[in-house]
Amino acid sequence: MEEPKKALVLYYSRTGNCRAVAQAIGETLQCPMQEIKDLKNRAGFWGFISGMIDIRKKPITEIAPKTVDLSPYDRIYLGSPIWGMRFAPAITTVLNTFDFKSKKVVLFAVATGKFKQAQLEAYGKSLSEKGAQVAGTFVLKTRKKTSAQLLQEAKAVLKTSLIKP
Ligand SMILES: Cc1cc2nc3c(=O)[nH]c(=O)nc-3n(C[C@H](O)[C@H](O)[C@H](O)COP(=O)(O)O)c2cc1C
Q: How far apart are alpha carbons 91 and 95 in whole angstroms? A: 6
Q: How many distinct structural domains can be found in the chain?
A: 1
Q: How far is the CA of 89 from the centre of ligand 1 (A)?
A: 12
Radius of gyration, alpha carbons of the chain: 15
Taking residues 134-147, what's their average pLDDT? 91
Let me know if residue 163 belongs to a domain: no
Q: What is the DSSP string of 78-132?
A: EEEEEETTEE-HHHHHHHHHS--TT-EEEEEEEESS---HHHHHHHHHHHHHTT-
Which residue from 10, 14, 48, 139 has its CB within 8 A of the most atoms of ligand 1, so it is best to mutate?
14
Q: Give residue 79's domain range.
A: 6-158
Residue 8 CA: distances (Å) to CA of 96, 108, 137? 18, 13, 15
Taking residues 144-158, what's their average pLDDT? 90
Let me know if residue 129 belongs to a domain: yes
Q: What is the pLDDT of residues 114-127, one digit of tens each?
A: 777 888 889 999 99
On the question of pLDDT at 45 being above 90, the answer is yes
Atom 6, ligand 1: residue with shortest CA distance: 83
Cβ within 8 Å of residue 25, ≥6 positions away: 7, 9, 31, 33, 77, 79, 108, 154, 158, 163
Q: Domain containing 99 — which CATH number?
A: 3.40.50.360
Let me know if residue 165 belongs to a domain: no
**Predicted structure pTM score:** 0.94
Q: How far apart are alpha carbons 162 and 111 in whole angstroms? A: 21
Q: How far is the CA of 17 from the centre of ligand 1 (A)?
A: 9
Q: What is the pLDDT of residues 55-90, one digit of tens each?
A: 999 999 999 999 999 999 999 999 999 999 999 999
Determine which helix (DSSP H) or strand (DSSP E) holds 54, and give its type and residue range.
Answer: helix 44-57
Let me know if residue 131 belongs to a domain: yes
Q: How far is the CA of 86 from the centre of ligand 1 (A)?
A: 9
Q: Classify 134 as helix, strand or coil.
A: strand
